């Protein structure tokens, strides 16, 4: 992995339009990291920052210390306190114990996997095997090849099988958690109000409430399609942010396999179809085209070959039931909603940025909902419905592939 480490140590972050911008959080310093690592056996001593993560919601760096590399991540405590991180760490431990290649979370001499210090919370991970091929890619960057998409689908299905038996309840109210409570309700409008009321920064923001009303109107037909299928969707702890740059790869070529999974910050108790829909939404639609030219939604490219490969890879490891398959199309139109809202909560409640919150609720929550009524959006949903119909027969599913 050493030769694949980025030499970039200047702090920049991915902006909401895909451009590199000044980060919201100050970068980690070597002195700061050394102070944190003093608490971790085998990590004491001088450190060298090898790379700075461009992810926008925290500060993180790959660090050389002694004879190894570790990944150090710092969160604002308003975003993740110690217990918030330990929720994620317990899920990671369960997945590792069941054969999923996720990073090992390191513990201090006293056994803590999260370290709180005044306004910050820190975590330290061992580096996973493999190559960080998409290290500079933003979250909505498509796969480089259909083979990558297929392998990602296989890895996601393996995670879902391994997550069975992890019985912790859904997470509490925290910023930047991708939950599924609004459109899983028989009363989405009431559930939306409850979601906002539980987050005072959202509830008090008039523009957010207006965007939520518009999004509800746009998304209710998809919820009506999903509603009868909800009883077939078993609750499951899920990753909720699977895309190419949250995977480590066996090599840099187009035939490389996914051999590691990172970044479980959005994980929560949702269901497998919701998680698969997020992987589709993150990976097969060129959303940045919509960000930069919202007046021409039909110009947004959809990577159908990658979609088919992702689904085929998933079903190779975990075939969907007929009800799960039928739920995937409406879920794909709905799955972005609560992430858009939790982003807005973060922007309003933590960063105090109404401008960024408006991008999350109007550009993302409403904008993506509108897109599914465009020709391009309808084509994606019809493709998923056709795939689900073919899935009722083995020969039909094989023909689809």
pLDDT in tens, 173-190: 999 999 999 999 999 999
Q: How far apart are CA 71 and CA 61, in angstroms?
A: 6
Give SS3 for 14.
strand
Inter-CA distances, 388 with 39, 236, 393, Å:
51, 21, 10
The kind and range of the H/E element at 43 are none
341 with 247, same domain: the answer is: yes
Q: How far apart are CA 320 and CA 396, in angstroms?
A: 14
State residue 399's pLDDT score. 45
Rounded to 5°, angle at Cα 138 from 158 and 218: 80
CATH code of 150's domain: 3.90.1200.10
CATH code of 79's domain: 3.30.200.20
**What is the domain count for the chain?**
2
State residue 292's pLDDT score. 82
Is 155 within 8 Å of 261 (Cβ atoms)? yes
270 with 301, same domain: the answer is: yes
Tell me, yes or no, whether 137 lies in a domain.
no
State residue 200's pLDDT score. 96
Beta bridge partners of 235: 271
Tell me, yes or no, whether 135 lies in a domain.
no
Is 264 within 8 Å of 239 (Cβ atoms)? yes
Residues 6+ apart with CB under 8 A from 117: 36
Tell me, yes or no, whether 132 lies in a domain.
no
87 with 156, same domain: the answer is: no
For residues 141, 142, 148, 149, the Cα torsion angle rounded to the nearest 10 degrees is: 120
Q: How far apart are CA 358 and CA 351, in angstroms?
A: 13
Q: How far apart are CA 218 and CA 390, in angstroms?
A: 28
Tell me, yes or no, whether 375 lies in a domain.
yes
Give tens-digit pLDDT for 214-247: 999 999 999 999 999 999 999 999 999 999 999 9
For the chain, report the end-to-end CA distance as a whole number of angstroms.
Answer: 34
Tell me, yes or no, whether 287 lies in a domain.
yes
State residue 5's pLDDT score. 37
153 with 111, same domain: the answer is: no
**Which stretches of the chain drop beneath a pLDDT of 70?**
1-21, 392-401
Q: Which of 301, 291, 368 is nearest to 15 (CA)?
A: 291
Tell me, yes or no, whether 139 lies in a domain.
no
92 with 162, same domain: the answer is: no
386 lies in which domain range?
A: 146-400
């Amino acid at each position: 992995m050493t030769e694949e480490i980025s030499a970039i140590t200047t702090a920049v972050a991915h902006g909401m339009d895909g451009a590199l911008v000044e980060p919201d959080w100050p970068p980690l310093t070597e002195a700061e990291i050394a102070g944190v690592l003093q608490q971790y056996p085998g990590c004491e001593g001088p450190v060298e920052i090898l790379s700075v993560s461009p992810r926008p919601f925290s500060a993180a760096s790959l660090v050389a210390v002694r004879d190894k590399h570790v990944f150090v991540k710092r969160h604002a405590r308003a975003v993740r306190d110690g217990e918030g991180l330990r929720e994620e760490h317990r899920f990671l431990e369960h997945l590792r114990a069941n054969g999923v290649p996720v990073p090992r979370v390191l513990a201090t001499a006293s056994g803590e996997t999260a370290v709180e210090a005044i306004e910050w919370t820190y975590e330290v991970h061992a580096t996973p095997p493999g190559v960080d091929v998409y290290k500079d890619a933003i979250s909505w960057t498509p796969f480089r090849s259909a083979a990558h998409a297929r392998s990602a689908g296989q890895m996601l299905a393996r995670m879902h099988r391994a997550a069975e038996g992890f019985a912790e309840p859904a997470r509490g109210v925290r910023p930047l958690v991708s939950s599924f409570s609004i459109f899983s309700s028989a009363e989405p409008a009431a559930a939306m109000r409850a979601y906002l009321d539980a987050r005072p920064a959202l509830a008090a923001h008039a523009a957010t409430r207006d965007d939520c009303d518009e999004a509800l109107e746009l998304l209710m037909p998809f919820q009506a399609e999903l509603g009868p299928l909800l009883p077939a969707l078993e609750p499951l702890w899920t990753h909720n942010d699977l895309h190419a740059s949250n995977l480590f790869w066996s090599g840099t070529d187009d035939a490389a396999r996914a051999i590691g999974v990172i970044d479980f910050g959005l994980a929560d108790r949702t269901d497998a179809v919701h998680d698969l829909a997020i992987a589709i939404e993150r990976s097969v639609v060129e959303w940045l085209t919509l960000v930069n030219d919202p007046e021409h939604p039909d110009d947004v490219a959809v990577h159908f070959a990658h979609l088919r490969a992702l689904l085929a890879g998933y079903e190779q490891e975990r075939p969907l039931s007929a009800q799960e398959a039928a739920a995937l199309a409406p879920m794909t139109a709905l799955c972005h909603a609560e992430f858009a809202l939790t982003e807005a909560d973060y922007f309003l409640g933590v960063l105090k940025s109404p401008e960024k919150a408006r991008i999350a609720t109007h550009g993302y929550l409403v904008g993506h909902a509108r897109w599914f009524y465009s020709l391009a959006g309808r084509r994606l949903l019809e493709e998923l419905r056709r795939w689900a119909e073919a899935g009722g027969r083995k020969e039909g599913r094989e023909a689809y592939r």
